[in-house]
Amino acid sequence: RSRPPNPKRDKMNRSTAARFEVRKAHLPSTENTDEDDDEEDNKHLTALEPKITSRYPSKDHKDQPLNLRLPQFCHPQGTDIIYPTSQYKMPRIHHFVLTDNMGCKQYGTCLTVYEEFESEDKNNNNNATNEKKKTYYAPRVLCLLSTYPYLTAFRTYLTQLYRLATMTDCMTAPIERYVQNICCEVPAPPPGAFEVQLEILNTPIRFWAPPANQPIAYVSLPFQVLFECLDISNVLF
C-alpha cells in the first residue's frame, strides 16, 4: 500500500523541506475516519458492478482486442467493493499498463469522476418518507488506451476535457466526438524532432516521440515531484 512521504524516515532535499507541509496537504491522509464512517453508512446499499457503457471503436482491432479485465484497471481499489458514497469526491486521474502474451504494451489513462446516483436502499424505512432524500455519488471512468506512452499529454487532455464539459458552455458536441477526434484525427508524431500540438482552453497539449535508436524506453511521465521529495540516493538503487 502506498504511503505519503515521511520526513522522519525519508531523506529529503533540503531545498524542499520548507515546502513539505504544503505538499502534504495534497497527499492522501493516513487517517481514514471519514471514509470508515462513510463505509459503515453505505453497507446497506447495493454494490455496483462495473461495465463498459460506451467505447470507440465499437469493434476490436484484429491484432489488439480489448482486454476483458479493463474495468479492474479502471477501478484499482477493486471491482468487488464499489459502493455509492454519500461524500462527493474530487475527480482523479491514474495510469496503468497492459501487457499481452506477446509483450506488446497498451498505456491507459483514466479520469474518474463522481456523479449523482439514485441507489436502492435495502432497508426500506417507511417512517422516513418525510425526511430529505440522501444524495449518493457513483464513479464513472473515462479511459484512453494507446500503444503510445503519451501519459502526460493524455492526462492534460482528459483534465481539460473535463473542465470544458463542466466549467464552460463551449462544448457543443458530445464528449464521444472529442474522444473520436484524438483517436482518429490527431496524428502520432514520427520519431525525432517533430511534435504534434493541439489546444484546449488555451492549454497546449504536445505529443512528441524520441528518436527510434534511444537506448532507454521512453515513457512520458512527470518525475519532478519524485526528485523534489527524495534525494538521489533514494531514487537510484
Q: What is the pLDDT of residues 186-212, one digit of tens each?
A: 988 888 778 899 999 999 998 888 777
- pLDDT tens string 61-71: 888 888 888 98
Degrees (nearest 5) of the Cα angle 113, 69, 65?
Answer: 110
The sheet carrying 105-117 orders its strands as 92-99, 105-117, 136-146
- pLDDT higher than 70, residue 159: yes
Query: Which run of H or of E encompasses 73?
Result: helix 70-74
> What pLDDT is stored for residue 112 in this prediction?
94
- pLDDT higher than 50, residue 213: yes
Give the dihedral of Cα atoms 62, 65, 217, 227; nearest 10 deg. 160
Q: How far apart are CA 143 and CA 175, in angstroms?
A: 12
> What pLDDT is stored for residue 19 in this prediction?
47
Q: Partners of 106 in the beta sheet?
A: 98
Q: How far apart are CA 228 and CA 12, in angstroms?
A: 8
SS (H, E, C) 174-226: CHHHHHHHHHHHCCCCCCCCCEEEEEECCEEEEEECCCCCCCCCCCCCCCHHH
- pLDDT tens string 38-48: 555 555 677 78
Q: Is this prediction's pTM over 0.85?
A: no
Q: How far apart are CA 141 and CA 91, in angstroms?
A: 10
Phi, psi of 50 (to 5 degrees): -70, 140
> What pLDDT is stored for residue 216 in this prediction?
56
- pLDDT higher than 80, residue 92: yes
- pLDDT tens string 122-144: 555 544 544 567 888 999 999 99
Q: How far apart are CA 73 and CA 143, in angstroms?
A: 10
**Residue 16, SS3?**
helix
% of the chain residues with pLDDT over 70:
71
- pLDDT higher than 50, residue 118: yes
> What pLDDT is stored for residue 35 in this prediction?
55
Cell of 26: 495534497
Q: What is the mean pLDDT of the chain?
A: 77
> What pLDDT is stored for residue 205 in this prediction?
92
Q: How far apart are CA 219 and CA 105, in angstroms?
A: 12
Contact 205, 185 (CB under 8 A): no
- pLDDT higher than 80, residue 9: no
Nearest Cα neighbor of 99 from 147, 166, 170 is 147
Contact 79, 72 (CB under 8 A): yes
* Residue 76 confidence class, pLDDT cut points 50, 70, 90: confident
- pLDDT higher than 60, residue 167: yes
Single-letter code of the amino acid located at 113: V
> What pLDDT is stored for residue 44 in this prediction?
60
